[in-house]
Amino acid sequence: MSQSEPDTVDIAVVGSGPSGMVAALLLSSRGFRTTLIGPRAKDDPRTTALLEVSVGILNDIGIWDQIRPEAAPLRQMRLIDATGRLFRAPETLFDSTEIDLEAFGYNVLNKDLNVVLEKALAETSVERIEGFATEIVPMEDHVEIVVEGREEPVRAKLLAASDGRNSPARDAAGISVSRWSYPQTALVTNLAHALPHDDTSTEFHTPHGPFTLVPLKGNRSSLVWVGEPAEMDRIKALDDEAFAREAERMAHSILGAMKAAGPRHTFPLSGMKAKTVGANRIALIGEAAHVFPPIGAQGLNLSLRDVASLGEACEHAQSYGIDIGSSAMLDDYAKARRGDIDTRIFGVDALNRTLLTDFLPVQAARCFGLYLAGKVGPLRRRLMREGVAPAFRHAGNTQ
C-alpha cells in the first residue's frame, strides 16, 4: 500500500455492546482484519440467559470457559398458568436431560459477561476505537465511518451494524423497518430468595404478561415482570421491602421470602423488524435488525446467531474470491437469517398476544397447546430442541 492510499480494514463493527464485542472477536478469529467502534461497556446489572447455540458460539471463540464460572445453569423450565381464567393450562415442565443436554443454557450478569469480552478483545488483534460513529457513508468499494474525536474516517469493506434499535448505520444503508408496540411495560431486576431455585426457570403467565424468574448463582434470580404500564410504574416506585413482598406474592412464594438485590429498570414493550439485514456494504446484527419483548430468552441469543451467520457468509464469500461487502455476500447473509428471525418474532409475538386476548377460542387453543406440550413426548422434545438450537441458523451458498 502506498502512502497516498488510505488504509482499509476488512470489517468495522459499529456498536460495542455484547453482540458487537462478540462480532469483533468472531470475525477477527476468522482471519478478517477487524475494527470495533464504540465506547467501553457500562456497568450493567441486567442478566442474559445464554442458550445452547450461544454457548457453542462463545466456546468456538475461546471465551466460554471464562464465562462459565459466573453463570447459573438452566436445567429446567417451568410454565405456570396464573391467568385465573376459565381456560387454564396445566403446569408444564421442560427438562434438559430429556434432550440429552446438561442445561438449556446459562444465566449470567451482563457486567460479568462484559468483563470477559473486554479482556478477550484486549488480547486480540482487533483495533479498538472508543468513540461514537457520527457519520456513515457507504461507497462503491468501501464504507467510510466518521468517529468523534478522530481526524481520519475509518474505511472498511464491510460494516457490521450492532448499534441498536435506532441504528444510524441502518439508516445509512437505506434499510426501512416495520415497528409495532404492546400495551405493556417490562420491569427487570434481580432478587435474593430464601429457598433454592434448583436451576429451574419459572414463568408465570398472567393476563397482563409473563412474570419470569431465571436462576442466578446462589439463592438469587433475575426477574422479568411484564404488566400494564401504570401498574409497573407503581411497582417500580415501591420501597425495597414492599417490592419484595409484591414479587413473592406474584411468585406464589415458591422461592420463599424475597429481597431486592439490584436496581429496577422499566421499558415499554415494542417490536421492530428490518426489511432486510444487509444492503450497501452494511450488515445488521442484533437490535439493529430485530427487536421483540423479553420473553423466552431470545434477544441476545438471536443476535449471536446473526453474528455466527455473518461470519459464515463472509468466510464463504472470501473462499470464492467474492468481495465480503458485496451484494452477493449480503444476500447470502439475509437468506441465512430470514427463517430464524421470522419464526422467533412470530413465536414471541403470538405467545404474548395470546396472554392479552379476551377471545375465548384463542385462550382455549393456547391452553390446549401447552397441554399437548406437557403430555406428548415427541412434541415436547421437538419444542425444546427448537428452543435451544433453531433449525434456521446456517448461511447458504454464495456462488
Residue 135 domain flag: yes
Q: Name the residue among 375, 200, 103, 324 with its Cα closest to residue 367.
A: 375
What pTM did the predictor assign? 0.90
Residue 123 lies in a domain: yes
Q: What is the pLDDT of residues 324-375, one digit of tens each?
A: 999 999 999 999 999 999 988 888 887 777 766 665 566 666 676 776 777 7
**Res. 393: pLDDT tops 60:** no
pLDDT value of position 361 = 65
End-to-end CA distance of the chain: 29
pLDDT, averaged across the chain: 90
Domain annotation covers residue 116? yes
In the predicted structure, residue 228 carries a pLDDT above the cut 70: yes
**314 — pLDDT class (breaks 50, 70, 90):** very high
pLDDT at 351: 74
State the pLDDT at residue 356.
64
Asked whether residue 212 is domain-assigned, the answer is: no
pLDDT score recorded for residue 395: 40
Boundaries of domain holding 76? 9-179+269-388
Asked if residue 68 is part of any domain, the answer here is yes
Lowest-confidence region among 78-87, 113-122, 135-144, 370-379: 370-379
Lowest mean pLDDT among 72-76, 310-314, 394-398: 394-398
Domain membership flag for residue 331: yes
Predicted pLDDT at 357:
67
Query: In the predicted model, what is the mean pLDDT of residues 381-387?
Result: 77
Query: Is residue 335 one of the residues assigned to a domain?
Result: yes
Q: Read off the amino acid at residue 312.
A: E
Locus of grid cell 435488525:
289
CATH number, domain containing residue 175: 3.50.50.60
Q: How many domains does the chain have?
A: 1
Backbone angles phi, psi at 210, to 5 degrees: -80, 150
What is the rounded average pLDDT of the residues 110-131? 95
Cα distance between residue 255 and residue 286, in whole Å: 33
Quote the pLDDT of residue 378: 82
**What was the pLDDT predicted at 43?**
79
% of the chain at pLDDT higher than 70 = 91
* pLDDT tens sequence across 235-288: 999 999 999 999 999 999 999 999 999 999 999 999 999 999 999 999 999 999
The angle, 0 to 180 degrees and rounded to 10, between the axes of the packed helices 52-60 and 299-319 is 50
Residue 48 lies in a domain: yes
Structure-model confidence comparison of residues 121 and 395, the more confident one: 121
